[in-house]
A and B are shown apart, each in its own frame.
Chain A
C-alpha cells in the first residue's frame, strides 16, 4: 500500500493519519501527548508499523505546536501551521464550507473561507479561557469525566451564567454557584455557554459567520459546546466525520499536494524512528545578554537539530524540512552563519 502520512502534534493530543494515494482516509490515530511529544509520535508510528507492514510512505506532512520537532524527527516533506492545515482539511471534506470553528487543547481559531480560499482568520491571543484545557480543568474540578461533560450539560434546563473571561475567575464563580446550590448540570451547561460566549467575543469578533459552518478540533466532541454554539449563532453546525484529526488530515493533504507538484522521493526517515533513542537537551547561549534557551535534539547518529535562538545562529545547522538544500547552499549557509553570529551577537 502507498500513502501519505499526516502528523499533528498538539498540546493535548498527537494525531496521525494515513491517506491513500488519492487522498482517501485509510487510518487515523488520536493519542494523548502527555507532555511527551517524542514518545507520542513514536508510539503512534509503532502502532502504524505493526498494522500496515507494507506501507510505502510517499510523503509526510506535520503541523501543530510541535511541528518543528516532529518535522526534524520524521524527516517531513512539509511543515505547515495549524490554520492552513485545518482550512485545507475542512475544504477537502466539505468543499462548500464558508466558516471553520476550531477549538483545540490550548488554542482556538476561526477561519473564514470564501470561494474556496481562506479570506480571513483569527486565533485566540491573550488567554486560553476558550479552549479545551479550560474545559478539562473545570471538568476535573467538578469531578466530572470530560467524556460525560457534554451529555451532562444537555440535561440542564436552566443554565447558570458563569464569568468566563479568565479561568481563575470562572473557577471562583463556579464555586460560588455550587455553594448557593445550583445543580451540576446547570453549572456544566453554564460553563459551555460561557466558553462559547468568550470564543465568539474574542476570536470570532467582527468575523462574518456564514453557513455552512464546520466545527472541528477535539472540543467538537462535546455535545454541550455544540449545543451552545448552535444556540448562540443560530446556525446548524456540521461536525466532520474525523473532527478530532483534521489538522493531521490537512497536513497529509498538503504533503500530497507538495509531492505531486515537486515529485521526489519522500525524505521520511522511516518507521525505525519509533525505536531510536532521542535525547533533547537545552542550554543557555551566552553569545549575548538575550540568553536564549537553545534546544538540541540528538539521536544515536548524532545531532539532528538545534532551535530556540533569536538571532538564527543556532538554526542553520538544523535541518530545514521540506527543502532539499544542496550541499553548496549548506556550505554557504554555514559561512554566513558564522558572519551573522559575529555581527549579531
Chain B
C-alpha cells in the first residue's frame, strides 16, 4: 500500500507526516508543473474547474512513481468538490489505471462498513502511535501556516528580491525533515532565524492587500500563478483570508457535522444571508472583514466556472462601493496567460498605491 494524495499548497507537509506516522509508505506527488496540468486536463471534462484537473495530474504523476492508493477528500457538498473523488476515480479507471481510492467523507449508513473501509489505513500502528502521528501532523499544519504568514510579512519589506521566498523554501524543507514533536520548538527557533536573516527595510510603508476566494486556488501557488509572490515582490503586504489549518479544521468539523459558517454568515449577512456552495459566502464575509480592517485593496481569486465564486463576484462590487475599497476578481484556469495576470496585478497595485497617496 503506497499512498498518495492531491497537492494543495503546503498541505503535503502535514499529510505526508500523518501517513508516515500511521506506518504507510507515502508517495508525495511531484511539484505541480505544466506537465501535471497537461496530464490532468487530458481526461477531464473541459468545463470542469481547475482543481479537478490538477488533482488528476497529481495522481497520475504519483502513480508513475509507484503509488497505488489515492486518498481524497469528499463529502456532502459543498460544491463540485464533493463529487471530485467519484469523477476522478471513473476518469482514471477509464484510462486504465489500477489503484484503490479512499474517500474521506462523513460516514453514511452503517458505521461498521466505514470502519471496514478505513481499517487498513488506521490499524498498522498502535493507538498511541496513531495519536502521536495525528498530533505531529496537526502541529506541522500550524507551523506551515506560520511560515506562510512570516513569508507574507517579510516579503513586503525585503531589500533583495526573492530572499523571503528562499527562506520559506528552506523552512519548509526543515519542517519536512522533522519527525518528532519534541524537536519542534528547536525547529521553530531555526525558522525564526531564517526569516530574521532576510535583509529588510523597515522604513517602508507597504500597501496592504487581502486575498479572498476559493480555497484551492488561494492555497496553491501554481493554480494562482504565484499571486502572493508577485504581489509581495511588488512591495505589497499580502494578507490571506484562509490557511491550511483553517481548511483542515473545517474538513474535520464537517465530518462531525458542526456548523462552521456562523461567523461568516454574520459578516456577510447584509449582502448574502445564506450558503451558496463552496466558499462563496466566505469570500463575501472575508471581504467585509478586510474592509472593516481597512486594507488598501482586496483581490478575489476563483477558478473559471466556479459557481459559488460567480455568486460572490456579483456581490463584491456592492461591498466595494459601501466600504470604498477596491476589489478585483481574478479568474484562473489552465489557459490563463501569465502576462495578462501580471499586467492586472501591477495595475491594481498601482491604483491602490496611488489612492493612498492621492496621486493620479
Interface residues in chain A, defined as those with a beta carbon under 8 Å from any beta carbon in chain B = 65, 80-84, 87-88, 91, 116-121, 123, 125, 206, 288-291, 310, 312, 316, 320, 329, 332-333, 336-337, 339-340, 343-344
Tell whether, in the assembled complex, residue A118 and residue B360 are in contact, meaning their CB atoms are under 8 Å apart: yes
Tell whether, in the assembled complex, residue B355 and residue A80 are in contact, meaning their CB atoms are under 8 Å apart: no
A116 partner residues in chain B, CB cutoff 8 A: 358, 360
Q: Is B106 an interface residue (CB 8 A)?
A: no
A91 vs B199: C-alpha distance when bound (angstroms): 38
A320 partner residues in chain B, CB cutoff 8 A: 161
Q: Is B289 an interface residue (CB 8 A)?
A: no
Closest residue of chain A to B163 (Cβ to Cβ) is A336
A202 vs B30: C-alpha distance when bound (angstroms): 38
Tell whether, in the assembled complex, residue A343 and residue B166 are in contact, meaning their CB atoms are under 8 Å apart: yes
Question: Which residue from B160, B226, B326, B348 sits with its C-beta under 8 Å from A332?
Answer: B160
Tell whether, in the assembled complex, residue A343 and residue B355 are in contact, meaning their CB atoms are under 8 Å apart: no
Could you say which of B2-10, B124-132, B251-259, B338-346 contacts chain A? B338-346
Question: Which residue from A290, A291, A333 sits with its C-beta under 8 Å from B162?
Answer: A333
Tell whether, in the assembled complex, residue A312 and residue B31 are in contact, meaning their CB atoms are under 8 Å apart: no
Tell whether, in the assembled complex, residue A121 and residue B347 are in contact, meaning their CB atoms are under 8 Å apart: yes
A344 partner residues in chain B, CB cutoff 8 A: 169
A-B contact pairs, 26 of them (CB 8 A): A65-B343, A80-B346, A81-B346, A83-B343, A84-B346, A84-B347, A84-B360, A117-B354, A118-B354, A119-B326, A121-B347, A121-B348, A289-B30, A289-B35, A289-B36, A310-B338, A320-B161, A329-B160, A332-B160, A333-B162, A339-B166, A340-B165, A340-B166, A343-B169, A343-B173, A344-B169
Question: Which residue from A81, A120, A329, A340 sits with its C-beta under 8 Å from B326?
Answer: A120
Question: Which residue from A65, A125, A316, A329 sits with its C-beta under 8 Å from B339?
Answer: A65
Instruction: Please judge, given known A-B contacts A82-B343, A119-B326, A123-B343, whether A336 and B166 are in contact too, CB under 8 Å.
Output: yes
Closest residue of chain B to A329 (Cβ to Cβ) is B160
Please, what's the 1-or-0 string for B147-165, where 1 marks a CB less than 8 Å from any CB in chain A?
Answer: 0000000000001111101
Q: Is B43 an interface residue (CB 8 A)?
A: no
**Nearest Cβ in chain B — how far from A120, in angstroms?**
6
Instruction: Please judge, given known A-B contacts A117-B358, A118-B360, A290-B33, whether A81 and B350 are in contact too, CB under 8 Å.
Output: yes
B31 partner residues in chain A, CB cutoff 8 A: 288
B226 partner residues in chain A, CB cutoff 8 A: 310
Q: Using a CB-CB cutoff of 8 Å, which residues 9-55 of chain B contact chain A?
A: 30-31, 33-36
Tell whether, in the assembled complex, residue B355 and residue A117 are in contact, meaning their CB atoms are under 8 Å apart: yes
Tell whether, in the assembled complex, residue B166 and residue A117 are in contact, meaning their CB atoms are under 8 Å apart: no
Tell whether, in the assembled complex, residue B162 and residue A336 are in contact, meaning their CB atoms are under 8 Å apart: yes
Name the prevailing secondary structure of the A interface residues: mixed
Please, what's the 1-or-0 string for B320-350, where 1 marks a CB less than 8 Å from any CB in chain A?
Answer: 1000001000010000001110011011101
A5 vs B86: C-alpha distance when bound (angstroms): 59
Report the contact-size class of chain B (Cβ under 8 Å from the partner): 35 or more
**Nearest Cβ in chain B — how far from A251, in angstroms?**
12
Tell whether, in the assembled complex, residue A80 and residue B350 are in contact, meaning their CB atoms are under 8 Å apart: yes
A83 vs B354: C-alpha distance when bound (angstroms): 13
Tell whether, in the assembled complex, residue B331 and residue A125 are in contact, meaning their CB atoms are under 8 Å apart: yes
Please, what's the 1-or-0 string for B198-239, where 1 marks a CB less than 8 Å from any CB in chain A?
Answer: 010000000000000000000000000010010000000000
Question: Which residue from B160, B317, B360 sits with its C-beta under 8 Å from A88?
Answer: B360
A206 partner residues in chain B, CB cutoff 8 A: 317
Closest residue of chain A to B338 (Cβ to Cβ) is A310
B317 partner residues in chain A, CB cutoff 8 A: 206
A310 partner residues in chain B, CB cutoff 8 A: 226, 338
B33 partner residues in chain A, CB cutoff 8 A: 288-291
A177 vs B192: C-alpha distance when bound (angstroms): 69
Q: Is B103 an interface residue (CB 8 A)?
A: no
Closest residue of chain A to B326 (Cβ to Cβ) is A120
Closest residue of chain B to A120 (Cβ to Cβ) is B326
Instruction: Please judge, given known A-B contacts A118-B355, A333-B161, whether A290 and B34 are in contact too, CB under 8 Å.
Output: yes
Tell whether, in the assembled complex, residue A84 and residue B34 are in contact, meaning their CB atoms are under 8 Å apart: no
A144 vs B165: C-alpha distance when bound (angstroms): 54
**Nearest Cβ in chain A — how far from B9, in angstroms?**
15
Interface contacts beyond A117-B359, A125-B331, A289-B33: sample of 13 additional A-B pairs, CB < 8 Å, sorted by A: A65-B339, A81-B343, A84-B350, A118-B351, A119-B326, A121-B348, A288-B31, A312-B165, A332-B163, A332-B199, A333-B160, A339-B166, A339-B170
**Nearest Cβ in chain B — how far from A311, in angstroms?**
9
Closest residue of chain B to A208 (Cβ to Cβ) is B321
Tell whether, in the assembled complex, residue A340 and residue B162 are in contact, meaning their CB atoms are under 8 Å apart: yes
**Nearest Cβ in chain B — how far from A5, in angstroms?**
19
B344 partner residues in chain A, CB cutoff 8 A: 123
Question: Which residue from B229, B339, B346, B355 sits with its C-beta under 8 Å from A119?
Answer: B355
**Nearest Cβ in chain A — how far from B204, in angstroms?**
14
B229 partner residues in chain A, CB cutoff 8 A: 312
B343 partner residues in chain A, CB cutoff 8 A: 65, 81-83, 123
